[in-house]
Structure 1
C-alpha cells in the first residue's frame, strides 16, 4: 500500500456477519484515532444474525430484541454508515457505485458513488434456485429479515384459515440443510405454543414435508448428526423425501422427478447458496458460477489487491484442501477477525498473512427438541459427537460470542438478561 496524504478510505459493502464485525473492529482501532475513514454500506438500517432467521420466520423469537442499529453501532464504534445498494465499481478510479434506494413512490436516496482506497465486499449469500421454474414466483426464501417476516405474516394467515375452516395447513420445504431442518422443527414448536391461544388441535393441522436431493438430510454434517436429526423429525410426524429432485414450483405445490404434484399451501426454498448476482458484474473481478468473488489466502481478489471479499460472497480454496471453504457464519467471523487484525499493517506496507481456517465443529439446533453436532478438527476431541444440553448450550454460545465481539461482554450480558426477563412477560410466539 503506497503512502497517501489523506487518511485511507475503507469502504465495506454489506452489513452482515462479516461486514459489521469488520467495521466494528476497524472503527475501534483506526476510525476513533482518525487513522482511517471506515464506511459501512448496506441497504438496511439494521443487522440481524443470519443463523436465527428461521426463528423469526416461525415467529418464535422477537426480532426487535436482536436487531442491531447500524447507525448506533457506527456512532459507538468509530465508523460511518451509509444506506445503499451496490450496483458497480470502477477499479481504475476506485469508486463504488450505489443504486438509488426507492421507497413506495420514488427514489428516497438517489444513485451516488463513494471513493475508496480499500474495498471490502461482504454481501453474504442467498438460496440458489438453480433455475428451477416457478421458484421465484411461488416459493418463500428465508435469506433476510424482510423475507423471514414476510413468510411469518403469510404463515399466520394460513394458520387462521386452517383454524376457522377446520382444515390442515401443508408446508413444503425444499432443502434439508441446516436452514430447512431448523425451520421445520421451529414450526412444530410454534404450533405447540399457539395451541394454548385458542385451538388445541392446531399442531395436528400441520402437514410438513422436507425435500432433499441428497441421500440424507444435513448432508454437510457428520452422518450421526444427520441420523439423530432425522429421528427427531420423524417423531414430529414430518415427511422426509431424500433423493428427491424438485423440477418445478407451482401455486399449489411442487413437481418432482417422482411425482407430478405434491400439494402444499406454502412453499419454502432453502436449497443451495449463491452470492448476489451483482458481484459477477464488478468491472471484471473474477467470480465463480455462484457469483462468489475468487480470493487468495490474504482474502484479496485474485485480480485486484485493493479489493477484499469475506464470508459467503467469496470463495477460497486453501492450499491443503481440495474444496473451497464452506459458506458458514464460522468462516465469515474468522475471516473478518483475520482481516481486522492485519489490514492496519497492510495499510503501512506489511503483507497480510495467509488466512488459516480453524474448524471448530458444526451444530444444528432443533429448538426445544434438541441439538446435535460434532467437534471440529481444531480440537483435540475432533469428531466427538455432541447432543443434548451440551449441544444446545454450544449453539447458544456461538451467537452470544458474536454479540460479545460486537458489543463487549457487559452489554452482551445485559442483552441476554433482558431477553430472559422478557420471556416471562411476553408470549413465546408472535401473535400480531
Structure 2
C-alpha cells in the first residue's frame, strides 16, 4: 500500500487504517473495470488520508473533480469526464464540503442518474460525508456493498445492463417472472397467436420484470405491448405509458419518463379520467422531486391532492400527504413534514391500511432521528416493525430492523445494532433485495 505522510498516518486509529486497507483491496478489484464507488467518510482525518493515498497510488491516472456550483451537479461531472478523462484514468469527486441541506437532492441524483453514468461507462469514485451515504443507503438500489468498508460498490464492467442480476437469484418472485417469460415464448411460437392474449401476457410479464428489478426487460415488454394497441384504446395506452414512465424513472431516464407522464396526463384529461390524472400528477411531481425542483414537485403534488380529495380517494390522499411531507423534510421544515405525515397516518388508520400506517411510522421516525430525538425515533420504528410482523411483510420488517439498528448504533449499543443489522440482512438476502442488502452494510 502506498505510504502516507507520517503525520497523517499517526493521526489515524486502527479502524481508519483498516479502512484504508479495505480501500486498497477495493481498488484492486475494480482497477480494470468501469465502476462507480461511493465511500462514506465520517472524519476529516480519514478523508485527508484517502485523498493522499489516492494521489500516491495513482499519480498519473487520477483526477480530482471539484465544482463551485452547489448542490453537486452530476450532469456537469459527466460533461467534465467526457471532455477531460481518457481511459485508464478515473475521477475522484469529493462531496465532503457540500452543505447538509443539499444532501437529499444529491442522494436522489446519485440514484436516478446511475443509469446515465453506467451508459457512459465511467470510472468515478465519490467521497461522501457518512450522513449523505446513509441517505443513499436508505433509497438506493443496484449498488453492491463491500462489507469491510462504509460505501457502495457498483460494478459496471458488464457489456449491458442485462448482465446486472440480483445478488440472490432465488428471489421468491423470480420464478414467477421466469415462468411468465416461458409462457410468452411458448405463446409466440403458436401460428395463430391472438394479439389480445399476447398483449395480456406482455403486460403481465412487464409487471413481473418490475417486481424483480429487471427494469430493462420491463421497458422492452411495455414498449412491445404499446405497439399492439390500436388508436382507439386510449385509456389502455395512457395506463401503459404511465407505467413505462415509472420504469424509465427507475432507470434514470428522467426526461423521457417526464415526456410519457405528460402524454398520459393529456390523455387522461381528454378522457375525463380524473383518477389517472391524479396518478400522473403525482408521478410528475416525483420527477421534479428527484431533480431537486422542490417547488415544481410541490405544485404537482398539491394538484394531485386536490383531485384525490374531490374524488374521495382516501388512499391517494394519504400517499400524497406522505410525498408532501418529504418535501417539507428536505426544505428543513420538520414540523410541517410531521404534520403531513400525521395527516397520512390518520387516513391510513381510518382505512385500516396497516402497511401504509407502518410506512408512515418509519417516515416520522426519520424526522425524530434527524432531530436527535432518538427515543421517539425508536418508538416509531418499533411500531412499524410490529405491524410489518403482523402482516408478514418481510421487506418492511427488514427496513424497520435496519432503522432500529441505526438508533442502537447512535446510542453506542453496537452489539444490539449488529444483531438488528444481521437480521435485516438475512431477510434482504432471502428476498433478493439489492437495495436492502446494500443499505444494511455501513
In which range does the TM-score fall when normalised by the shorter chain?
A: under 0.3
TM-score normalised to structure 2 length = 0.27
**More helix as a share of residues:** 2
TM-score normalised to structure 1 length = 0.27
**More strand as a share of residues:** 1
